[in-house]
Copies of this chain bind each other. A is one copy, B any other.
């Protein structure tokens, strides 16, 4: 209790039995948004292309709207663009995270 606690959280949101969003998927979406390529996003995150593709495919079927659309060349060869919906998901997640961390600090502050 002499140091400031360096707390952090990992938050996974379940939207139903087959749809979830956590830090890994959000990071993937953010990388795709920045680099416009699934293979490069995967590389930067240390994921196999197959794993990144699975996560993106999973996200594309998790909600009422897709999160990404492939441009010329297909998902593998060409670029990938996030939908406006995906950007809303990222933004919502990045707003919830600090709010949840703040709640955590409030309740665990004296315990950690």
Contact = CB atoms under 8 A, between A and B. Distances in A.
Contacts of A10: 11-12, 14, 22
Copies in the complex: 2
Given A12-B9, A14-B9, A96 B111 contact: no
Contact of A108 (B64, B92, B103): B92
A4 to B, nearest CB: 12
A104 interface: yes
A96 B102 CA distance: 9
A32 to B, nearest CB: 18
Interface of A: 1, 5-16, 22, 63-64, 85, 88-89, 92-93, 95-96, 99-100, 103-104, 106-108, 111-112
